[in-house]
Amino acid sequence: MEIKGKSLREIRPNTNYNACSFYVDDKEYDATNCKFHNYKQFTKDFAKNQDYL
């Protein structure tokens, strides 16, 4: 399963999470075979203006 750009309250096994936010309780979750991709693409001009380079 793949989930993209969501705000979530749980983590499920065998799931790819792309650009998701997690608001979870302080307990253990089964993240077996999960992938978490949280990224933001920056242009070179934007990066220069933000002191990233």
pLDDT at 37: 87
Q: How far apart are CA 53 and CA 25, in angstroms?
A: 36
Query: Which residue in 16, 23, 22 sits closest to 37, CA to CA?
Result: 16
Name the residue with tokens 């002191």.
Answer: 51
What's the CA angle centered on 34, arms 32 and 36, to 5 degrees?
145
pLDDT in tens, the chain (53 residues): 999 989 999 999 999 999 888 999 889 999 999 999 876 655 566 555 555 44
pTM of the model: 0.66
**What pLDDT, on a 0 to 100 scale, did the predictor assign at position 13?**
96
Domain spans of the chain?
2-49
Q: What is the rounded distance in angstroms from the CA atom of residue 37 to the CA atom of residue 6?
A: 12
